[in-house]
Amino acid sequence: MSRPPLPLPVGEVHVWMVHLDDAALAELVDTGLSSEEKERAGRFRNQRQAQRFASARVALRHLLASYLHCDTRSVALGTAPGGKPRLEPVTDRWLCFNLSHSDEMALVGVSRGREIGVDLERLRDDVDLEGLVARVMSPPERRLLSRLPPKPRQAAFYRFWARKEAYLKGLGTGFQLEPRAVHVTGEGPAPDGWVLHDLDVGPGYAAALAVEGRGPVRLRQMTLDC
């Protein structure tokens, strides 16, 4: 895998799109994962899902190594108390990152000194959309969605859900914060001074980025080529 010629300027946010079924990426799995990640991949009953999980973690490690200017094997990943992945040891907060994957695509978001969350959702027709709306959307969001025809309502639901997930993942608290308490009907400022951005990742998906703080964000959206 070729490594991107980076530094990461202050205020700039990079979002990488990764195609998880890339054969060149799959070839790196055996040597690019930790023993814990291999164990997690082995828990999947579906082989394709296991391969995609492993490919997502390999891509994350190679990208982080590029920013840190180190060998991939030197990238040590841990988990914060709320479940958010982080670099270990926690000695320098200058590089913040987050990962999301759905079906054959993954997103890796990277920022400098500002916490970040990304979320990627495959639009699905085989879910109880109205049940999900009732469980995770705020009253104003439910009212807005109720006015839309079925297809636009589905697209809007996933767009709102991706924003909520990105924000909650950025906070690193999981679902300790009630999703219905987070209002995300418009792009821009979110609760607690975070900023939300919708991401265009192609048809059939919804994706969003959440960045801590109200400072300027120069967003670069790039595809990882293996």
Q: Cα–Cα distance between 95 and 187 in angstroms, integer?
A: 24
Compute the average pLDDT of residues 138-146: 92
Q: Give the model confidence (pLDDT) of 25-53 as tens digits.
A: 888 877 778 888 888 888 888 889 989 99
Across the range 184-203, mean pLDDT stands at 79
Paired sense of beta strands 85-87 and 95-102, if any:
unpaired
pLDDT of residue 133: 95
CATH of domain 12-223: 3.90.470.20
Does position 216 have pLDDT exceeding 70, yes or no?
no
Q: Where are the domains of the chain?
A: 12-223
Higher pLDDT, 117 or 90: 117
Q: What is the mean pLDDT of residues 119-138?
A: 93
- Is the pLDDT at 218 greater than 50? The verdict is yes
Q: Give the chain's mean pLDDT.
A: 86
What pTM, to 2 d.p., does this model score? 0.89
pLDDT of residue 2: 46
Mean pLDDT of 84-97: 80
First-residue to last-residue Cα distance in the chain: 5
- Cα–Cα distance between 155 and 145 in angstroms, integer? 10
User: How high is the pLDDT of residue 40?
Assistant: 87
Of 159, 141, 146, the closest CA to residue 209 belongs to: 159
Determine what percent of the chain is predicted with pLDDT higher than 70: 91
